Structure 1
Amino acid sequence: MKKLGIAVGTALAGGLATTVIGLAAPALAAPSGPGSAQDTISSLQAQGYKVIVNRVGTTPLDQATVVAVRPGQAYAGVDATGGDYLATVAEKTVYVDVK
């Protein structure tokens, strides 16, 4: 029974390590410096991102501060014209946490 416990524990630890490594995505180049959450959101939208805002509180976005900017899903399509396959990013999503 002890061998089974060690095997399960090792598998669980390996799975957790893989999950943590998979979640370690590179940070986005979010606008920095003084400015409101609305400035950050507008700048990201101008760069082509679909912005999803997670809010804490009821402060207007032009007075709120950005707590975090996190990468989201990118959607791509494949164009097969002329025998060549070309993947194009159709939409990039980013999550902006504000308070």
Structure 2
Amino acid sequence: MMKKVTLPIATVATLAAAAFGLASPAGAVGGPGGYGNAQDTINALQAQGFNVQLNGAAVYPLSGCKVTGIEGTHNDNINSAGTLIDPTKFTTVWVDISCKGG
């Protein structure tokens, strides 16, 4: 069963907004589904220390793809704020993407 994640997405939005100098978290992960483009989301997750895998047919550039979900953010190495507890532990999240033409 697929679960939608809200708290970790807020964390991703905050990091992406800080990294890209956006005025609000909504600007970093706005768009359909509230996640934004795939490249920005992947960059933000990797900056947090996550290993990122893609679900969906990737068409490059990924900035032209939208994120439809993020899976794998509920495990024993992620705290209630959605951040890694032990950054040395390999933790994978899966980003569901939808790309035009792919």
The CA distance in 1 between the partners of 2:91 and 2:75, in whole Å, is: 4
- Structure 2, unpaired ranges of 5+: 14-28, 78-85
Pair member with larger Rg: 1
Aligned AA (1:91): F
Seen in structure 2, the aligned counterparts of structure 1 residues 73 and 50 have a Cα distance that, compared at 3 Å, is farther
Q: CA RMSD, aligned part only?
A: 3.1
The CA distance in 2 between the partners of 1:24 and 1:59, in whole Å, is: 26
> Does 1:70 pair with 2:48?
no
Could you tell me which residue of structure 1 aligns to residue 90 of structure 2? 91
- Moved >3 Å (runs of 4+): 23-26, 72-76
Higher strand share: 1
Shift in Å, 1:24: 7.3
Shift in Å, 1:54: 1.5
The CA distance in 2 between the partners of 1:26 and 1:36, in whole Å, is: 17
TM-score by length of structure 1 reads: 0.50
Could you tell me which residue of structure 2 aligns to residue 54 of structure 1? 55
TM-score by length of structure 2 reads: 0.49
Checking the alignment, whether the CA contact within 8 Å between 1:37 and 1:62 is kept in structure 2 is yes
Checking the alignment, whether the CA contact within 8 Å between 1:64 and 1:98 is kept in structure 2 is yes
Shift in Å, 1:91: 1.8
Aligned AA (2:41): T
The CA distance in 2 between the partners of 1:63 and 1:48, in whole Å, is: 23
